[in-house]
Amino acid sequence: MRSDGRRPDELRAITITPDFSKYAEGSVLIAAGETQVICTASVEEKVPPFLEGKGKGWVTAEYAMLPRATHTRSGRNPGGRGQEIQRLIGRALRAAVDTRLLGPRQITIDCDVIQADGGTRTAAITGGFVALALAARRLRASGKLTKDPIKQAVAAISAGIVDGEARVDLPYVEDSNAEVDCNFVMTEKGGFVEIQATAEKDSFSPEQYGQLVALAMGAMKTLLARQREAIERARP
């Protein structure tokens, strides 16, 4: 039995609230159980030096956990873990965009964890995509873009083996005791963008890995539906 009574294949309650920030071109508050992340998209009419003159855009991300997002206060420096996570978020969201259609501009997705209970990086990717899609929609509405640069939705979910059982969407109490810990980033077309899989104690079998993949693929249907609903509810 899971600590919160869920089935092994059952997600925590997922809510995505669009237009959470007044000023950002795109923003959401995503909640996955007790985990809450604010994702904002900021558009800049410039690109990194390595893209100057190439006519392409760029999508990047920053990730931070607020000092009291956890039981004890942490510093504001993202540290090595935070840098690794923000690189993951950037890679994931670039898979959603045709940077040629974005033009010579950069969209930065800031993901700020205000409360952490496991799955912060996957929530940041899932919510970050909605913020990105809203920013792209508003660039089109303003006439700065003629075509939609979003080519596919991207979402992410955790899965793992806890007490010998494959489970999806791990809260902290499960994640911290998992024998196997995985994060899956997938597209709406069913492709994988990135998989992070680690045996925390002993190795795991191909059969166990297959169970985790199946759980993640099942969860994606719900996540993608929540993303679509949030985009539809957002202001024009």
pLDDT tens sequence across 111-150: 999 999 999 999 999 999 999 999 999 999 999 999 999 9
Report which DSSP code applies to 201.
S
pLDDT at 231 over 90: yes
Q: What is the pLDDT of residue 212?
A: 98
Over residues 28-50, the mean pLDDT reads 97
Contacts of 59 (CB under 8 A, 6+ apart): 90, 93, 94, 96, 97, 99, 102, 106, 107, 108, 109, 132
pLDDT in tens, 170-208: 999 999 999 999 999 999 999 999 999 999 888 999 999
CA-based end-to-end distance of the chain: 44
DSSP state letter for 91: H
Which of left, alpha, beta for 118 (phi over 0: left; psi -120 to 50: alpha)?
Answer: left
